[in-house]
Structure 1
C-alpha cells in the first residue's frame, strides 16, 4: 500500500479540508473545475480516469478497508471521521472521498475526435438522481458520450456523481449551454437526432431500421418534457408505447429503453 501523505489524520479545521469542503457549492466547483467523488465506487471510477484524481481523503479505517484503492499512485491523505463527514453528503459516509478534476470536454471536440454512433443529449434535466442514472444507463448501453444541455443539473453534483455509480468516469461528457446548438452539432456530425416524445410520430417498437443508424437521443425535462421548438429540430420524434394505464415513464427509465433499443439494433 502506498504510504499516506500525512501519518496524522487531518481534522475538520485543517485548511485543505476546509477548501475541499467548499466544493459542495456549484459556483465553487465551476470556478475551480474541481469536484468531490464520494465512496469507494466513485473513487475507483475516478482513479481509472487518467489524470482525474488530485488527492484522496480517507479515514484510517477506510484506508485499511480499501487497500486496493490506497495503492494507486495519487496523494492519499488521512483525515479523521469528522473531517471526512464534512466532505461527504452521504448519511453514512464510507470513509473515502476523491478530489477530482472536471471531466467535460467541448462538444465540438467530443464529436470531432472520432466517429460516434450513440449519444444521449439531456436538455434541462433538473433531478440529480435522474441525471446520474441516465449517465449510468448510457454507459451500460455502450453509448459514446453524454451531453448535458441548457439549464441542466450540474453533472458534478454529489448526488449525480453517486447515482452514476462510477459511470461518470467511463464515458465522455460535454456541457452545452444551448440545447438547440447541441442538436445541430450532432446533426452536423452525421447523427440522426431522435427526440423522446410521448406524442412522437414514430413508435419505438417499430423503429428498428431508424435505430440502427448513428443516433443522438434527445431527452427533456422530467416535468414538462421537450419544448415544442426543440423537439421540432430533431429528425424524428419517437414515442415509447404505454400498454398499461400509466400516464408516462420516469425520465431515466425512458432513457434506458431508448438507449438499449438503439444498442440492440446497432449490434445486430
Structure 2
C-alpha cells in the first residue's frame, strides 16, 4: 500500500502546482464522477484509490494503486475526499485542430482568472452542445483542481484549447467562417433581437472584474437584457444564457 512517502505519490502531489502540471503534461482529477469520465476518455495515467473506494466503486478501480487515507488526503484538493484521485494526461489541442472539426458552437474565455468560473463554463458549454472551449489570453489554467471539479467531468467531453493571443484567436475563428459574438453587459445589441444565432458561433466571455478588452474585435457586442433590479449577471449565468440561446437557434 502506498503512503505519502511513496515516490509515485510524492510525484503526483506536485501536480497541485501549475508549473509541474505544465512541465509534465499531467493533472489530477478527483472523485468518482471525474474519474469515470477520465476513464471513458482514455485520459488516466494512474489511479490512486483507498481500500474503501475500491469496495465502493469496483467498476472504476479494475486497475489502481492502493493508497492509505493519509496519502489520499495529500493527493486530494477537497476537505472530504471520496477516495479516488487520478493522474490524467492533459487534453488541450491547438486551435487549428479544434477548428478542423468544424464546430458550430465555441466558448472562448478571455483573461478569466477564477477557476470555478472556468470549470462552470466548461460544464455549461458541454451541456449546450459546444464542441470546443478556448482559454485565451491570461486565463486560469483549466487543469487547476477547482476548475476540474467545477467542470463535473465535462473537461473530458469537449476540445480544450489554450491560446495566448486572444486577438489571433478571434481572427482564426472568423477565418473559419464562425461569427464572433462578445457577451458584454454594455453591448449595443440585445441578445433576443439577434437573428444570426443559428449560424456557427463563438461566444467571447471576459472576466467578471474587467470584462472583455475593448480592442478585441468581435462581430457584435451583445448584452443579456435585465428585466429586474439586478445590476448584472455573473459570468457563469451569462454564459449559460448566451450558449443556450445559440443552441436553441441552431436546432430550430
The TM-score normalised by the length of structure 2 is 0.99
Matching residue within 34, 39, 56 for 1:47: 39
**4+ residue stretches of structure 1 with deviation over 2 A?**
none
Distance 2:56 2:123 in 1: 26
Q: Alignment partner of 2:118: what SS?
A: helix
Q: Which residue in 1 is equivalent to 2:128?
A: 141
Aligned to 1:81: 69
Q: Which residue of 2 aligns with 1:10?
A: 2
Take 2:208 and 2:69, find their aligned partners in 1: how far apart are those partners?
A: 37
Q: Which of 43, 47, 57 is the aligned partner of 1:56?
A: 47
For residues 107 and 115 of structure 1, what CA distance do their matches in structure 2 show? 11
In the alignment, which of 168, 171, 178 is matched to residue 184 of structure 1?
171
Per-residue CA distance 1:135-170 (angstroms, 9 max, x = gap): 000000001110000111100000000000000001
User: Which residue of structure 2 aligns with residue 27 of structure 1?
Assistant: 19
- Please, which of 228, 247, 252 is the counterpart of residue 244 of structure 1? 228
* Structure-2 separation of matches of 1:222 and 1:66: 38
The answer to whether residue 186 in structure 2 is matched with residue 173 in structure 1 is: no
Which residue of 58, 62, 65 corresponds with 2:56? 65
Find the counterpart in structure 2 of residue 36 from structure 1: 28
User: Which residue of structure 2 aligns with residue 194 of structure 1?
Assistant: 181
Question: Cα RMSD over matched residues?
Answer: 0.7
Gaps of 5+ in 2: none
> TM-score, normalization: structure 1?
0.93
Aligned length: 252
* Pairing of 1:73-222 with structure 2 (within 5 A): 75-112=63-100, 114-207=101-194, 209-222=195-208
Displacement of 1:218 after TM fit? 0.5
Q: Distance in 1 between matches of 2:203 and 2:53?
A: 40
8 A contact 2:49–2:61 mirrored in 1: no
Per-residue CA shift, 1:14-46, capped at 9, x if unaligned?
111000000000000000010000111110110
- The runs of 5 or more residues in structure 1 that have no matched partner are 1-8
Q: Distance in 2 between matches of 1:94 and 1:35?
A: 18
